[in-house]
Structure 1
Amino acid sequence: MPTPLVFITGASSGIGQALALRYHRAGYRLALAARRTSEVKTWAEDCGISTDSYHVYSADVANIESIVAAGHDCMARQGLPNIVIANAGISVGMDTAVREDLEVMARTFATNNTGLAATFHPFVDAMVLRKSGTLVGIGSVAGIRGLPGHGAYCASKAAVISYCESLRGEMRPYGVRVVTISPGYIDTPLTRQNRYSMPFLMQADDFADRAFQTIAAGKSYRVIPWQMGMVAKLLRMLPNVLFDRLLAGRPRKRRQGEQQ
């Protein structure tokens, strides 16, 4: 059997990089899509990953043509992936009263939602014909309830969860799996900018290991770590009046350009 292939977006840092290393250690070839390709190549060299076991594709998931082209290039160079992980995402605070922040929201949706669908797009027909494959969407526990100052990110991740649920129903008759993983707080450059407490903070390598197991098991949806899954369920059950009181005074997500 040929060596399996995984395609991962947002592979230049954080969760994407940790997932890439976990799949490499499991014997997969890597197709890594990122804007900062030089950083990915430097990281791969530092990890001792041989050049014949990975390829880096320059792509901006917020640009539909860019990420679609990367997907087609991947299939031409390395073949059809066994697993596609749409991991790339951004998280920036917003204030609806500020005109510039509407652009932040548009950019967030372009990256976290349209970019996710565009990541999957090149591979769907080929996976359907092959009658196998796994499409993985990275959501967030922030998509379960809205957090003050976090409207763009929370809305985008709620959309990821719903979109992947829709896609799962569409792909099921063809043997193509759709897996949704919603991380809690993972120690990455993205979360280190947060100015509020992050319960059950998890190291990226630990997250990648659990995500790998979840994907291998073909689970449809999972929150990692499980403790945050329990917290999310409890928050979902809270009446609005209690939820609003709980979040009163909570520090807002830092807006673009806002100082520490």
Structure 2
Amino acid sequence: MPVFITGASSGLGAALARHYAAQGQTLGLLARRADRLHRLAASLPGQHHVYAVDVCDRDALHAAAHHFQAQVGFVDTVIASAGISAGTLTECEDDFAVFSSIMQTNVNATVSSFEPFVAEMKARQAGTLVGIASVAGVRGLPGAGAYSASKAAVATYCESLRLELKPHKVSVVTIAPGYIKTEMTAHNPYAMPFLMEADAFARRAAKAIAGARSYVVIPWQMGVVAKVMRLLPDWLYDRLAVNAPRKPRRSER
């Protein structure tokens, strides 16, 4: 069962790579940091294909995907796990570039990651596409407009795609992580409830993917939090969240 993973050099992508390699799967590992990507591949059991590509370079991403398909045949699972995060404030005009890069990496690159695989999956009536959303996308968080918006967009996009591909027996799985211990969350200067190790996350995510779950929050405790957040009326959510701790802006790290 070949698996293509973007954002594979660190964080959730690397944890998923370790999990699937341990299961004997052949991997296509794509990320922009070549040195880290090659170190990861060298540490994994089996032979894998490495692509040092920025997911925002759509042509290069597609070329890597097509090369992997040519090498391994049908790609059963595609996981678009590349993502970036930073605090953003609309009044800070310098943050517009940060906002744009977050949307490009988290949303547009998810689409670009799936594009090369859809036609063959439809033809074979098989396969799974996996998008990584976030609990941060359930409701808007102060100081995280770009990140919250991008992850809400991923969830909604994947839902639309799931409905489009359901008649063709292609699964679309949305994984919404809570706080997972990675380099990304290491920048958060506040308490992170139910913080989970990345490898534990990968095991649970792989189980959800194998079960073709439409949407799952990991860990489950954050799923309860997400459900409560969805149900709160705006006036109450505003009162509770207005002073929530904020992600640092890039200039504040």
Provide TM-score, normalisation by structure 2: 0.97
Q: What's the counterpart of residue 246 of structure 2?
A: 252
CA RMSD, 1 decimal? 1.1
1:6–1:83: 8 Å Cα contact kept in structure 2?
Answer: yes
Count of aligned pairs: 253
Equivalences for 1:68-217 in 2 at 5 Å? 68-217=62-211
Shift of 1:130: 1.3
1:223 and 2:220 matched:
no
1:46-100 CA-to-partner distances (Å, cap 9, x unmatched) read 34x24xx201012211222221221112112222311000000010110101111
1:40 and 2:37 matched:
yes
Shift of 1:37: 2.2
In structure 1, C-alpha distance between the alignment counterparts of 2:176 and 2:43, rounded to whole Å: 29
Q: What's the counterpart of residue 234 of structure 2?
A: 240
Shift of 1:257: 2.1
Shift of 1:226: 0.8
1:196–1:250: 8 Å Cα contact kept in structure 2?
Answer: no
Unaligned runs of 5+ in 2: none
Q: What's the counterpart of residue 66 of structure 1?
A: 60
In structure 1, C-alpha distance between the alignment counterparts of 2:130 and 2:10, rounded to whole Å: 18
Provide TM-score, normalisation by structure 1: 0.94
Q: What's the counterpart of residue 55 of structure 1?
A: 49
In structure 1, C-alpha distance between the alignment counterparts of 2:60 and 2:102, rounded to whole Å: 17
1:185–1:199: 8 Å Cα contact kept in structure 2?
Answer: yes
1:15 and 2:3 matched:
no
Shift of 1:129: 1.0
1:224-251 CA-to-partner distances (Å, cap 9, x unmatched) read 1111010011111112222122123322
Unaligned runs of 5+ in 1: none
Shift of 1:43: 2.1
1:8–1:86: 8 Å Cα contact kept in structure 2?
Answer: yes
Identity of aligned residues (%): 52
1:145–1:154: 8 Å Cα contact kept in structure 2?
Answer: yes
* One-letter identity of the residue aligned with 2:237: F
For the residue of structure 2 that corresponds to 1:148, the secondary structure is coil
For the residue of structure 2 that corresponds to 1:257, the secondary structure is helix
